[in-house]
Amino acid sequence: MNQAITQFAFATGLPRVLGDLEPAVDLATLATLEELQEEGEPNLIVELIDLFLADVPCRLSALRASLVLENYPALKRGAHSLRGSSGSLGALRTSALCEEIEMEPADAFASLAALLTSLEAELARVFPVLQAQRLLRL
């Protein structure tokens, strides 16, 4: 009985919940980048993903630090930058969160803190997808 319930819950509940969330990475966006591939050159999408994966961790630390130090201009600048790159690679929800941080009034510490936490969580979802996409193209 328990097993059946668990199976049922899994079959209907979790996938539906998961399905409500946007995918972490919009694969169609990534696919459009393939048009830019030059023949004979190393894979552009792999290169871009590598740049992203390398850049993001320290960007996130910088954002955290800016928030703690209440350096709002630096926070906005960092969010602006991350917004561009995440959007280009199809991490659309990430990009939207960055935009919200950019638009938030400067001293709204509490909301900024919450947004930053959501951003970190979102990026945690994005990373494995990008890593997988990278492997596909190697």
Partner 1 sequence: MKILVAEDDPVSSRLLAAILKKWGHEVVTTNNGNEAWSLLQQDGAPPLAILDWLMPGLEGPEVCRRVRRNRKTSATYLILLTSLRDKEQMVAGIEAGADDYLAKPFNHNELRVRLQAAARIVELQASLAQRVTQLEAAVAERRRAEEALRNLSLTDDLTGLYNHRGFFTLAEHCLRMTRRSRQSSLLIYTDLDGLKQINDSFGHAEGSLALVKAAEILRQTFRDSDIVARLGGDEFAVLSLNVLRSEQDKILRRLDDKVLSANETHEHAYLLSLSVGAVWIAQDDIRDIPELIEQADKLMYLQKRSKQLSAIHASGPPPSRPTLRLVS
For binding to partner 1 (CB under 8 A), which residues are involved?
33, 35-36, 38, 44, 47-48, 51-52, 54-55, 76-77, 80-85, 87-89, 95, 102-103
* CA–CA distances in Å: residue 51 to residues 22, 24, 44, 55: 24, 18, 11, 6
Sign of the CA dihedral 125, 131, 134, 136?
Answer: negative
Residue closer to partner 1, measured from CB, 100 or 118: 100
**Residue nearer to partner 1 on the CB measure, 24 or 48:** 48
Nearest approach, Cβ of residue 9 and partner 1 (Å): 39
Task: Work out how close the CB of 12 gets to partner 1 at its nearest, in angstroms, rounded to a whole number.
Answer: 37
Q: Least separation, in Å, of the C-beta of 135 and partner 1? A: 18
CA distance 134 to 47: 9
Q: What's the closest the beta carbon of residue 108 comes to partner 1, in angstroms?
A: 18
Report d(CA 63, CA 30) in Å as an integer.
26
**Which CB atom, from 58 or from 110, has the smaller least distance to partner 1?**
58
The closest of 129, 41, 37, 63 to 90, measured between CA atoms, is 129
- The answer to whether 21 and 92 are in contact (CB under 8 A) is no
Nearer to partner 1, 85 or 133 (CB): 85
